[in-house]
């Protein structure tokens, strides 16, 4: 959010009381549930094909209604809905996840009459008076919004990310309310996996509203990337920050989809894409910390003459991974790179994706899908990629490879899909990040082979298979 320049319509309040929010969602759930039940009852005497189409239409209609109700509440309810959209394929009908995805477009700012007093209360009157704050926000999201400000004493431009009043206190009740809403409409498969996911969402939400933690994470990533001129991480201002307000330097930049970015020479777009890929690999192999929200709003591009740099924003969704997860994941990637199916299956069993007692054909199909995911990053890209995915020089054309579609189609046809149910939550976030990186590179219309970028992370010493792998 800190690097965006946008105009927002605003509202003067959000419903922050847990009773008020629960009441709104319960009423919405009962309304949608009863209408859905009525539609199904009227549909009993239709033919099979017509019955299925009407069922889908009713689901889609009621899902859009529920999303409309969620969007009006703002705060963590919207964020929870967005997370459910990303993970919903394991619990929810596709009509529901499609509707939930539209929540990402519904970010309305709060008016200055609410935000101004909130900032003054959080910062204290003396600190507040040290700043010249623009009343029009430059960015708005589900949990808070960003205002540009100038430190009067120094003239420095900063961004103030301010949390919506009452958001942090409403998280637990909001999660229960959303879960109740989905259960009332019978749109969710309730069970231990769903409850475990709700606990993870709760933990993630509390972490995202802890701006002290985000400030420290931003500072740490700035230190880790110091000296790499391809990246800009905002500086931090602890004196204007606390648990609900975070101050960082204002960093200029444009959206990745801006015409000025897409019009850059191929070599410049390739450099940006490679930087994004290398950042992901550092997060995974070196730091065991991933920015799990690859939303394009968290990235900006700064173009200064021939120098093009990536501005990294919003570190609230950074997650640290335990060694017990990172080691087998990195081992599985290494095995996929080497097309070593036996080792890949071993690591998949370690990660509780697979079981040795499953049929060997199922295990092999899983390994084949993993190898396919690594298509643009393997030395064998010319052998396994379809002709349309390569340019005349043999470089991978990320935008035109249609890899995500091919992978999804292949996975859906695979026998392992009947065995492979709900993956570990850590893998869900990792997969979300990988898809985000691939999409980022595709939007840039980059053309390069990823093996030379991945290989040094796999083989730290020798730089070739057979060398000492990364620990």
How is 346-372 classified by DSSP, letter by letter? HHHHHTTS--TTS-HHHHHHHHHHHHH
- Does residue 251 have a pLDDT over 80? yes
Shared-domain flag, residues 226 and 344: no
Task: Give the closest residue to 373 by CA, choosing from 314, 430, 425, 292.
Answer: 430
Q: Is 425 inside any structural domain? A: yes
Token pair belonging to 356: 């040795």
Task: Give the closest residue to 318 by CA, choosing from 294, 282, 285.
Answer: 294
Q: Which residue's entry shows tokens 């320049």?
A: 5
Q: Is 119 inside any structural domain? A: no
User: What per-residue confidence (pLDDT) applies to 28?
Assistant: 54
Q: Is 136 inside any structural domain? A: no
The span from the CA of 462 to the CA of 471, in Å, is 14
Q: Among residues 296, 319, 342, which one ends one of the domains? A: 319
Helix or strand (DSSP H, E) at 135:
none
Q: Which residue's entry shows tokens 């629960």?
A: 22
pTM (2 d.p.): 0.82
Q: What's the number of domains the chain is made of?
A: 3
Shared-domain flag, residues 257 and 289: yes
Per-residue model confidence as pLDDT tens digits over 383-411:
889 999 999 999 999 999 999 888 877 77
* Cα-based distances in Å from 406 to 25, 77, 116, 145, 179: 38, 34, 50, 38, 33
Shared-domain flag, residues 355 and 275: no
User: What per-residue confidence (pLDDT) applies to 467?
Assistant: 36
Shared-domain flag, residues 304 and 392: no
pLDDT band at 61 (very low <50, low <70, confident <90, very high): low
Q: Among residues 319, 336, 362, which one ends one of the domains? A: 319
Q: What is the mean pLDDT of residues 398-426?
A: 76
User: What per-residue confidence (pLDDT) applies to 242?
Assistant: 95
The span from the CA of 346 to the CA of 367, in Å, is 10
Q: Is 210 inside any structural domain? A: no
Q: What is the mean pLDDT of residues 94-117?
A: 76
- Does residue 35 have a pLDDT over 60? no
| Residue 273 structural domain | 216-319
Token pair belonging to 111: 């008016």
Q: Is 5 inside any structural domain? A: no
**Mean of all residue pLDDT scores within the chain:** 82
Shared-domain flag, residues 340 and 448: yes
Neighbours of 98 (CB within 10 A): 17
Q: Is 138 inside any structural domain? A: no
User: What per-residue confidence (pLDDT) applies to 4?
Assistant: 45
Shared-domain flag, residues 88 and 177: yes
Is the CB of residue 424 less than 8 Å from the CB of residue 351?
yes
pLDDT band at 468 (very low <50, low <70, confident <90, very high): very low
Per-residue model confidence as pLDDT tens digits over 13-28:
555 445 555 555 555 5
Shared-domain flag, residues 186 and 238: no
206, burial (CB in 10 Å: exposed 0-12, middle 13-18, buried 19+): middle
Shared-domain flag, residues 329 and 447: yes
For residues 415 and 168, the model is more confident at 168
**For helices 76-87 and 425-443, what crossing angle results, to 10°?**
90
Per-residue model confidence as pLDDT tens digits over 284-323:
999 999 988 877 888 999 999 889 999 999 898 898 999 9
Q: Which residue's entry shows tokens 């933990």?
A: 203
- Does residue 6 have a pLDDT over 50? no
pLDDT band at 73 (very low <50, low <70, confident <90, very high): low
CA angle at 460 for the pair 457 and 464, rounded to the nearest 5°: 90
Shared-domain flag, residues 432 and 414: yes
Shared-domain flag, residues 341 and 450: yes
What percent of the chain lies above the pLDDT cut of 90?
46
- Does residue 464 have a pLDDT over 50? no
Shared-domain flag, residues 315 and 342: no
Q: Is 439 inside any structural domain? A: yes
Q: Is 451 inside any structural domain? A: yes
Question: What is the C-alpha end-to-end distance of the chain, expressed in Å?
Answer: 35
Shared-domain flag, residues 294 and 393: no
Residue 82, C-beta contacts closer than 8 angstroms, at least 6 positions apart: 100, 101, 103, 104, 142
The span from the CA of 206 to the CA of 343, in Å, is 37
Q: Among residues 319, 334, 353, which one ends one of the domains? A: 319
């Amino acid at each position: 959010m800190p690097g965006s320049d946008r105009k927002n319509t605003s509202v003067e309040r959000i419903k922050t009381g847990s009773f008020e929010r629960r009441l709104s969602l319960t009423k919405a759930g009962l309304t949608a549930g009863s209408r859905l039940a009525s539609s199904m009852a009227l549909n009993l005497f239709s033919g099979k094909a017509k019955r299925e189409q009407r069922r889908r239409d009713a689901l889609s209609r009621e899902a859009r209604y529920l999303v409309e109700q969620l969007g009006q509440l703002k705060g963590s309810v919207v964020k929870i809905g967005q997370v459910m959209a990303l993970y919903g394929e394991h619990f929810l009908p596709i009509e529901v996840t499609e509707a939930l995805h539209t929540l990402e477009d519904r970010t309305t700012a709060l008016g200055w009459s609410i935000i101004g007093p909130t900032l003054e209360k959080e910062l204290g009157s003396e600190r507040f008076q040290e700043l010249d704050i623009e009343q029009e926000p430059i960015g708005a999201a589900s949990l808070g919004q960003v205002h540009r400000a100038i430190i009067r004493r120094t003239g420095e431009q900063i961004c103030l990310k301010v949390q919506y009043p009452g958001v942090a206190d409403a998280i637990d009740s909001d999660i229960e309310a959303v879960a109740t809403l989905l259960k009332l409409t019978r749109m969710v498969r309730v069970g231990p996996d769903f409850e475990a996911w709700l606990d993870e969402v709760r933990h993630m939400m509390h972490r995202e509203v802890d701006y002290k933690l985000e400030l420290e994470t931003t500072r740490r990533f700035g230190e880790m990337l110091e000296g790499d001129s391809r990246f800009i991480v905002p500086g931090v201002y602890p004196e204007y920050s606390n648990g609900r307000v975070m101050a960082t330097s204002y960093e200029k930049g444009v959206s990745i989809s801006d015409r000025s970015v897409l019009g850059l020479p191929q070599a410049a777009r390739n450099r940006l894409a490679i930087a994004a890929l290398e950042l992901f690999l550092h997060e995974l192999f070196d730091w065991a910390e991933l920015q799990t929200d690859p939303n394009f709003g968290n990235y900006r591009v700064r173009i200064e003459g021939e120098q093009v740099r990536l501005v990294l924003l919003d570190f609230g969704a950074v997650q640290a991974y335990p060694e017990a997860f990172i080691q087998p994941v990195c081992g599985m990637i290494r095995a996929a790179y080497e097309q070593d199916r036996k080792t890949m299956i071993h690591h998949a069993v370690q990660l509780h994706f697979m079981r040795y007692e499953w049929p060997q054909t199922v295990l092999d199909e899983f390994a084949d899908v993993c190898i396919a995911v690594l298509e643009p990053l393997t030395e064998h890209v010319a052998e396994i990629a379809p002709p349309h995915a390569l340019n005349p020089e043999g470089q991978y054309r990320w935008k035109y490879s249609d890899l995500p579609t091919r992978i999804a189609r292949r996975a859906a046809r695979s026998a392992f899909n009947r065995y492979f149910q709900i993956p570990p939550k850590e893998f869900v976030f990792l997969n979300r990040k990988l898809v985000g990186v691939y999409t980022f590179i595709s939007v840039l219309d980059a053309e390069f082979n990823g093996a030379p970028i991945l290989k040094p992370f796999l083989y730290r010493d020798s730089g070739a298979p057979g060398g000492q792998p990364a620990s």
